[in-house]
Structure 1
Amino acid sequence: MAFLGSFDISASGMSAQRVRMDIAAENIANMDTTRTESGGPYRRKNVLLESYSDTSFAQAMENAARGKGITSRHAGVRVSGIVEDDREAKKVYNPDHPDADADGYVTMPNVDVLKETVDSMSATRSYEANVTALNAIKLMAQKALEIGK
């Protein structure tokens, strides 16, 4: 792997985790939104991530067998999409609510604060891991430059 490609991998991971944190915050902010532009309650959003590399799996295996290691210059993770959660919305009895149906039930968003908190904590820890990796790479680069003095 090109040495500087490691920076790209960590940076792509940090960018992807930032999107996860943004979506978790958006979900929490809209947990009481019963009416959206499309009609109906807010739907919880999920972030889909995918890995990418300019080296095929077969090529990576061949390089590993020859002892070359990973030679991909562009690799990392990216957001492949943001999709709405298809879980059923919650029905809450509140006949005084303006969006209540004839029986007095309001369809509430399918957002669970606990799930969003866990998702944001997971994204934060992943972001921190990428920062740690980035700092380690930077330290190795500095030490390599010191050797050259």
Structure 2
Amino acid sequence: MIDPLQASSKLAGAGLEAQSMRLRVVSENIANAQSTGKTAGADPYARKTVTFRTELDRALGAASVKVKEIGVDRAPFQVEYAPGNPAADENGYVKLPNVNMLIEMADMREANRSYEANLQMMKQTRSMISGLIDLLRAT
């Protein structure tokens, strides 16, 4: 049987890893929100998405989270009339990324809160282990 404190640390670690990846993807989306194609008529940056999956950790006997895949959002690109832009097509239209800053900020906030919750779980586990060691020393 696995130690419950070790199990909680391992599960929180998996959550931290998953949310960290999500934060990286959201940051990349925000950084490329205005990235157009390099040549006339070329597609711009396409928003990335993160999909999670539940995975049974047999050693713990509990479900854990893992990143299933990093995909590409298939939403249509925005189009803007900018004939002077090097990425403009023959009609003067430039394709802009399908990144919606409002959605990205909401995703970032949710991922950050989930990350903090997992981090708090790790801190509580560490505190419990420290308390247990103190109790063992006292005996």
Moved more, 73-82 or 13-22: 73-82
Q: How many residues align?
A: 133
How far apart, CA to CA, are the structure 2 residues paired with 1:75 and 1:124?
A: 21
Name the residue aligned to 1:28.
30
Distance apart, 1:106 and its partner CA: 0.7
On the 8 A contact 1:14/1:130 being kept in 2, the answer is yes
How far apart, CA to CA, are the structure 1 residues paired with 2:98 and 2:36?
A: 10
The correspondence of residues 1-149 of structure 1 with structure 2, limited to 5 A, is: 2-3=3-4, 4-35=6-37, 39-55=42-58, 72=60, 75-148=63-136, 149=138
Q: Which residue identity does 1:131 align to in structure 2?
A: L
Deviating above 4 A after TM superposition, structure 1's stretches of 4 or more consecutive aligned residues are none
How far apart, CA to CA, are the structure 1 residues paired with 2:79 and 2:31?
A: 19
What percent of counterpart residues are identical?
33
Distance apart, 1:146 and its partner CA: 2.7
How far apart, CA to CA, are the structure 1 residues paired with 2:54 and 2:76?
A: 30
Tell me the secondary structure at the aligned position of residue 48 of structure 1.
strand
Distance apart, 1:36 and its partner CA: 6.1
Tell me the secondary structure at the aligned position of residue 78 of structure 1.
strand
Distance apart, 1:2 and its partner CA: 3.1
How far apart, CA to CA, are the structure 2 residues paired with 1:15 and 1:36?
A: 33
On the 8 A contact 1:35/1:42 being kept in 2, the answer is yes
CA RMSD of aligned residues (A): 2.0
Distance apart, 1:137 and its partner CA: 1.3
**Which segments of 5 or more consecutive residues in structure 1 lack a partner in the other structure?**
56-70
Tell me the secondary structure at the aligned position of residue 3 of structure 2.
coil
Distance apart, 1:72 and its partner CA: 2.2
Distance apart, 1:79 and its partner CA: 0.8
Q: State TM-score, norm by structure 2.
A: 0.86
How far apart, CA to CA, are the structure 2 residues paired with 1:14 and 1:27?
A: 20
Q: State TM-score, norm by structure 1.
A: 0.80
